[in-house]
A and B are shown apart, each in its own frame.
Chain A
Amino acid sequence: MRIEFPYVKERSSIFGVISRPVAKVVLEDEFPQWMYVDSGADITLIPLSVGRLIGLQRMKRDKLERIAGLGGSSIPIVVKPASTRLGSVQFRARVAWSQVEEVPLLLGRMDVFRRFDVSFRDKAGVTVFST
């Protein structure tokens, strides 16, 4: 399988219009989400309301963890498995369900990148996933 996603053009406060790699990921077989493809992220990250949308529930046994980005600021997350589809490939992947809303959707490496060869083709403006 080979699937390409064009970069999305967005505005950056510093650099003006900038192209970013995104991919369409279908969560729980029903909810297509556009996520930034982030090879620097250990795990896929979804905001609070996206987790609720796909039916995640916080249980007593769920351990509240914290993940950090640049600068050391951290956000509370719960790690949950979620049915994930990228192109025609369906698999279960662990996702970090943020307990705050103000985070972007990131497609991280855990349970995802080992299934695909991922190429960031900046010149062509596409991200290619191939198995």
Chain B
Amino acid sequence: MVFSRCRQVTQRRTCVKKRRLFVAIDFSKYKGRYVAIVGRRIVASGKDAEQVWSQAKKKHPDAQPELLKVSKGETLVLITCG
């Protein structure tokens, strides 16, 4: 029970950190582009995920960049079906 509570607290802290990450980064310059995030910084951006990943790995070979495709600012109603 105590262990489970600790894990929840840890996960909550991680969540709060991530929230701060998104608040801290201004994505407005990157509409429609992929950005690679290492730590709290955007280290590469572009229109092709492979190229963005390569650029990020070149700059930070030991890090695992996170990729985000920034929306173009449209209002999204997302449904896919066959």
Contact = CB atoms under 8 A, between A and B. Distances in A.
Given A47-B49, A49-B49, A49-B50, A41 B64 contact: no
Given A34-B66, A67-B80, A9 B75 contact: no
A31 B49 CA distance: 10
A45 B69 CA distance: 13
A43 B80 CA distance: 7
Interface residues of A, number: 47
A108 to B, nearest CB: 7
A92 interface: no
Interface of B: 7-8, 11-12, 14-16, 18-19, 22-23, 27-28, 34, 47-51, 53, 64-71, 73-82
Q: Decide if the interface of chain B is mainly helix, strand, loop or mixed.
A: mixed
A82 interface: no
Contacts of A41: 78-80
27 contacts: A6-B16, A6-B22, A10-B73, A11-B71, A12-B74, A12-B76, A13-B73, A14-B75, A15-B75, A18-B75, A20-B71, A20-B76, A33-B67, A36-B78, A38-B80, A41-B79, A42-B80, A43-B80, A50-B69, A52-B49, A53-B49, A53-B53, A67-B80, A67-B82, A106-B78, A125-B19, A126-B15
Contacts of A106: 78, 80
Contact of B48 (A5, A13, A49, A65): A49
The list of the 7 closest CB pairs from A to B, nearest first, reads A6-B19, A49-B49, A34-B68, A4-B15, A40-B79, A32-B66, A12-B75
Given A20-B76, A36-B76, A10 B67 contact: no
